[in-house]
């Protein structure tokens, strides 16, 4: 791949891409990219464009000193649909009252979200969790068909 060109990444669905800390491509998904950047500017008024977004997301998903993967903690019941959490060392999608176990081929087992104020290990970077809490509908499938009952 040539320097300064797009990264050839493909994800199961939009929720998976966001959990990995990636935004829509400004070339192949330009309308989604424009929509995300407009919403990003509302959430982060001092940041504009792909470089600023990528820098923020990189800082949220990797420790700047060690470059190790970074996770975040929050109450499970505060997470919007589309967020990913670690549960029993496996990634799970938050979708309504359920947690769906992720696999590269689709979502597998479902379980009810535990009630109460349970702390969750969140995979999705905080800025993208905030974005998921807005009224945003991507042009590509938000979740893989295996998530739909």
Per-residue pLDDT, averaged over 132-142, amounts to 78
Residue 14 pLDDT > 90: no
The conformation of residue 108, written as its DSSP 8-state character, comes to E
Contacts of 117 (CB under 8 A, 6+ apart): 75, 77
Residue-range definition of the domain harbouring residue 59 = 14-137
For position 6, what pLDDT does the model report? 61
**Does residue 74 lie in a domain region?**
yes
CA distances to 16, 18, 20 from 82, in Å = 8, 8, 12
* Within-domain flag for 19: yes
Q: What is the pLDDT of residues 42-80, one digit of tens each?
A: 889 998 888 999 999 999 999 888 989 999 999 999 999
Q: Decide if 143 is inside a domain.
A: no
pTM of the model: 0.87
User: Greatest CA span in the chain, whole angstroms?
Assistant: 49
Is 120 inside a domain boundary?
A: yes
């Amino acid at each position: 791949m040539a320097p300064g060109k797009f990264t050839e990444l493909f994800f199961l669905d939009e929720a998976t891409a966001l959990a990995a800390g990636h935004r829509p491509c400004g070339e192949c998904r330009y309308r989604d990219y424009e929509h995300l950047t407009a919403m990003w500017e509302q959430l982060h008024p001092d940041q504009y464009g792909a470089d600023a977004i990528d820098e923020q997301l990189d800082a949220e998903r990797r420790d700047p000193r060690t470059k190790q993967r970074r996770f975040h903690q929050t109450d499970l019941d505060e997470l919007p649909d589309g967020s990913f959490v670690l549960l029993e060392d496996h990634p799970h999608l938050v979708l309504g009252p359920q947690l769906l176990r992720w696999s590269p081929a689709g979502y597998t087992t479902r379980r009810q979200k535990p009630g109460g104020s349970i702390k969750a290990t969140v995979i999705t970077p905080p800025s993208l969790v905030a974005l998921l809490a807005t009224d945003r509908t991507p042009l590509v499938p938000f979740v893989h068909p295996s998530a739909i009952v």
